[in-house]
Amino acid sequence: MGREFAYHKVYRYLQALIDQAERGGELRLPSLRALARRLRVSLATVQAAYGLLENEGRVRSVAKSGYFAQLSVGTGEARMPRSAEPVQPNLERTLLAHERRLARQRVQAMPPCSASVRLREALADRYARAGGQLWKTEHVHLGPDVQAVLETLLAALALQGGTILVASPCCWRLLRVLQRLGMQVLEVPLDSEGGFDLGSLAQLLGQGSVRMLIMPSCLGLPGGGMISAYDQQQVARLLEGQPIWLLENDLDSERRFAASSGARLRDRVDPRWLLVLGSLEAAVGAEAPYAYVLGRHPVLGEAFARRAFQLPPLRQQALAQMFSKGEIDRHLSRQRVVLGQRMRQLCDQLDAHLGGQLVFTVPEGGHAVWVRLRRPALADRVVAAMAGTALAVMAGAQFSLQGRYRHCLLLTWTGEQPSALREAVFRLGEALAVHGAKRAADEA
C-alpha cells in the first residue's frame, strides 16, 4: 500500500478506538510498536497518525505511560490517569499539519480562487447552521485582517468619514482601526446594571447622522457579559425601518463560556441591512489572521473582487478542511471549559485578596476580568507596576475614545503561571494602594 493510504488507515483505526473510549471503552491506546505490528505499517506512519491526533486534541501523550484518548467535555474525564495534565489543543499546529499534508499530495495545486471559494463555503455553512439566517458562499467576503476588511467594507458602502455608533466599552483594536480610517465614533455606554443604555442608544440613533451601528453578537468584551435577549429585541426594534447598517461584531463570540448562546442579534434584524464581522484568528490563532464580513449587498462582492486580496491557497484549503471536519468546533468546545475555569480561578483570587478594592462580576466569556476601582488610582502607574507578573493589566481608558473608564482596569491571566497568580494579585493590591494614595495627594 502507498504511504498516504497507510497513514489514513492508522488514523481511521485510532479514531475508532477514541470513539469507543467516548462510549466507555479503554482510555489507553496501543503503543507505537504494538500498533505498527497490528496494522503492519512502519513506526513512522503510526507516529505521524498519533501526532496529528495529538495536535487535534483527541489524543494526549503521557511520559513513560503512553498515549491516551482525550475525551470530549462531559464524557468522564475523571477517569484520566493522574499523571496526564490537562492540555489545550493547539489549532495552529493542526493547521500547519493539514497544510503540510496538502503540500505533500502529488496533485495539481488548487487555484487561489477555488481555495477561497472552499473556505467561504465552509464559513457560510457554519453560520447558516448556527442561526436562523440563510448564508451562501457569495455572501462571505475574505480579507487579510480586520483593518483591510473594514476599509474595503466602508469604502464599498460609501461610509468613509461618516458617523459610527459602537457599544462601549469597545475592543481597543477595533476602536483604533475605526480611528485610523477617519470615522466619527460615538459610544453607547453600559447602564448602571451592566446592560445597554437603551435610552442613550435611541437618542443617538434619532439624530439622523449615524450610518452604522456596531454591536456585539452575543458576548460583549472587555466587559465579559452576554447580551440579553431583551437588549437584542430592543436594539432590533430601534433599528426597524431605519436606513442604518448593523455591523454585528462576531470577533469575540467564540470566547464565550457557554456552549450555546441562543439567538443572536443578527437573527432579529432586517437581513438587507445586516453585516457580520468575524476573524479566523480568534478561533485558530495567529497563523490564521484573516478576517471576513458576511453581507448580502452585491456591491460588497464587487468591492472585494476589485481588491483581489491574495491569501495563501493551501492555508485556505487547510482551514476549510478543519471547519468541515469539525476540528475547530471541537477545539472551541474544549477551550471554553479551560477559559471558564481559568477566569473563575482568577476571580476567586481577586475576591479573596482584593474584594475591598475592586468591583467586578465573574465574566461569561473572554480571557480577562473587567474591574472598577473603588478608590481611583493612577492607572498608568498601576499598569507599569504589574509589568513582568503573571497578571497583565490594561488601563480602562484604552477602551473608549471619549475619555471613559479611567477608573477601570482589564486584568488578563493566561493560566501559564498558576503558582505566580497569587503573588501577582498581592502585587496588584500594593500598586493600587500606593498609586491610589498618590492620586489622592495629587488632587489634594
- pLDDT tens, position by position, 115-151: 899 999 999 999 998 877 889 999 999 999 998 999 9
C-alpha grid cell, residue 135: 448564508
> pTM for this one?
0.76
> What number does CATH give the domain 335-443?
3.90.1150.10
Q: What phi and psi values does residue 305 have, to the nearest 5 degrees? A: -65, -40
Distance of CA 262 to the CA centre of its chain: 17
Sign of the torsion angle spanned by Cα atoms 120, 124, 125, 126: positive
Length of the chain: 444
Q: Is 412 helix (H, G, I), strand (E, B) or coil?
A: strand
Calpha distance 283→335 (Å, rounded): 10
- Gyration radius of the chain over CA positions: 24
- At 273 the pLDDT is 96
Q: Which residues of the chain are in CATH 3.90.1150.10 domains?
A: 335-443
Calpha distance 412→222 (Å, rounded): 10
Distance of CA 174 to the CA centre of its chain: 14
Strand-strand pairing, 274-279 and 245-249: parallel
Class of domain 3-87: mainly alpha
> CB-based contacts of 186: which residues, under 8 Å, 6+ apart?
163, 164, 165, 166, 204, 210
- pLDDT tens, position by position, 245-269: 999 999 888 888 887 656 788 999 9
- At 78 the pLDDT is 32
Calpha distance 400→245 (Å, rounded): 21
Q: Which residues of the chain are in CATH 3.40.640.10 domains?
A: 112-325
- According to DSSP, the residues that pair with 245 across neighbouring strands are 212
* Alpha-carbon distances of 425 from 345, 379, 429, rounded to whole Å: 12, 16, 6
Consecutive H or E run containing 155: helix 146-156
Task: Choose among 258, 211, 213, 252: nearest CA to 234.
Answer: 213
- Residue type at 201 in one-letter notation: L
Could you list the pLDDT tens digit for every one of the 444 residues in the chain? 333 446 567 877 888 788 777 655 557 788 888 888 888 887 777 877 787 777 666 787 776 678 888 765 443 333 333 332 333 347 888 888 888 888 877 545 566 678 899 999 999 999 998 877 889 999 999 999 998 999 999 999 999 899 999 999 998 888 888 988 889 999 988 765 667 788 889 999 988 899 999 999 888 889 898 888 888 999 999 999 899 999 999 988 888 888 765 678 899 999 999 999 999 988 888 888 899 999 999 999 999 999 988 888 889 999 999 999 999 988 888 888 888 999 999 999 999 999 889 999 999 998 899 999 988 778 888 888 888 888 999 999 989 998 889 999 999 988 777 788 999 999 999 999 887 656 554 554
Calpha distance 297→294 (Å, rounded): 10
Q: What fold does the segment set 112-325 form as a domain?
A: Aspartate Aminotransferase; domain 2 (3.40.640)
* Alpha-carbon distances of 85 from 58, 65, 223, 298, 303, rounded to whole Å: 14, 13, 31, 50, 49
- At 218 the pLDDT is 86
**354 close to 367: Cβ distance less than 8 angstroms:** no
